[in-house]
Amino acid sequence: MFSSGYSRSMGADGKRWSVRVTGEVRHWLCDLRDHDPASYESVRVAVDKLAEVGPGLGRPLVDTLRGSSLRNLKELRPRSGRDVAIRVLFVFDPWSQAVLLVAGNKAGDWTRWYRQHIPAAEVAYKAWLDSERERRGES
């Protein structure tokens, strides 16, 4: 199971990439685990790879999104099936943490999914930054 502090030691340089999740993504992951274990496992493997490689992870597993006010908004693209196209929108925050902001299955809803989820990711990231700055005493 993922947690808000999910992390792994990675990389030849010993860099530790922390992967954090919003409450919305945590809830979505729990639901996915309960109702679609195969897709959950694909997401888990993709997040492990993100923790291992960090910001340098690229296609086919990660792609940069266009149409966002966040220049570093990316999508994690876990292996999917015929009827499943899981996407997890994330950023690396100023503290070099990957923050999983929103997630879902865009199968059959390719264009509208992004129109809804990119703005939601932007809002979630602002809330994340505010919360993290407060937690770190940087408000």
Give me the amino acid identity at 124.
A
pLDDT digits (tens, 9 = 90+) for 28-61: 999 999 999 999 999 999 999 999 999 999 999 9
Strands 97-105 and 16-21: parallel
pTM of the entire structure? Answer: 0.88
Q: How many Å apart are CA 82 and CA 72, to the nearest integer?
A: 29
88, 51 contact by CB (below 8 A): no
Q: How many Å apart are CA 88 and CA 98, to the nearest integer?
A: 11
pLDDT digits (tens, 9 = 90+) for 103-135: 999 988 878 999 999 999 999 999 999 999 998
Please tell me what DSSP assigns to residue 69. Answer: S
**Edge-first strand listing for the sheet containing 62-64:** 7-9, 16-21, 97-105, 86-92, 74-76, 62-64
Chosen CATH of 7-134 out of 3.10.450.50, 3.40.50.300, 3.30.2310.20, 3.30.1300.10: 3.30.2310.20
Q: How many Å apart are CA 130 and CA 38, to the nearest integer?
A: 34
Q: Angle CA(82)–CA(102)–CA(50) in degrees, nearest 5?
A: 75
Domain ranges across the chain: 7-134
